[in-house]
A and B are shown apart, each in its own frame.
Chain A
């Protein structure tokens, strides 16, 4: 089955540590995205990539970094500079270069204490 796989489902880290969230897709989609979901708020875009080796900042990129070395993979690193990293992180992809709708993975819940 084609889809987007995010791992791990739950992640716990101590404050001050960097952590990398994995996102892999086998849909052959060009564009990939990272969103953050917090209670009572709509999804907010962190980073997106429309093509391999290229990515753009979204609305809340501070404290995060990404890479896109392969079409299938778009890992997100939450750095120690992110002031409020505890959240539900969603990876998504689109078939065309940035054409909606988004197809989402099942998310990673990150808890930083």
Chain B
């Protein structure tokens, strides 16, 4: 079946460094990709999304890169801050259909001082 997986369950980075969180997906028909941030005890918060007609999209301190050839996307966080500590997970779907979103298991980002 369809799956979405993250490469590392935990990532530890120093404050001020850049963070890179990776995600692999299995469905080659996926054309819409989302990154969420989830802080402990809270609901997921939308960070950034990208469609398959793009390979890069930038937000505030975040960049998402999409490589459709190897079915891989990454989230880059510049100048990581303590407030970035959370679980990050990706989700994919076709045609932007929310009910068909497949979610990854998440990478816990720990920011050390």
Contacts and interface: CB of A to CB of B under 8 A. Distances in A.
B34 A107 contact: no
Contacts of A101: 34, 46, 49, 98
B43 A94 contact: no
A79 interface: no
A103 interface: yes
Interface stretch (B13-21, B52-60, B65-73, B102-110): B102-110
B64 interface: no
Contact of B42 (A42, A100, A107): A107
Interface in B24-62: 32, 34, 36, 41-46, 49
Nearest to B92: A100
Interface in A1-54: 4, 6, 31, 33, 40-45, 48
Contacts, number: 68
Contacts of A56: 99
A90 B103 CA distance: 13
Given A42-B104, A100-B34, A33 B98 contact: yes
Interface residues of B, number: 24
A23 to B, nearest CB: 11
A90 B91 CA distance: 15
* Main SS at interface, chain A: strand
Contacts of B89: 42
B11 interface: no
A75 B93 CA distance: 25
Nearest to A31: B98
A105 interface: yes
Interface string B86-104: 0001010100111101111
A106 B58 CA distance: 26
A40 to B, nearest CB: 6
Given A42-B4, A106-B42, A107-B43, A100 B96 contact: yes
B98 A99 contact: yes
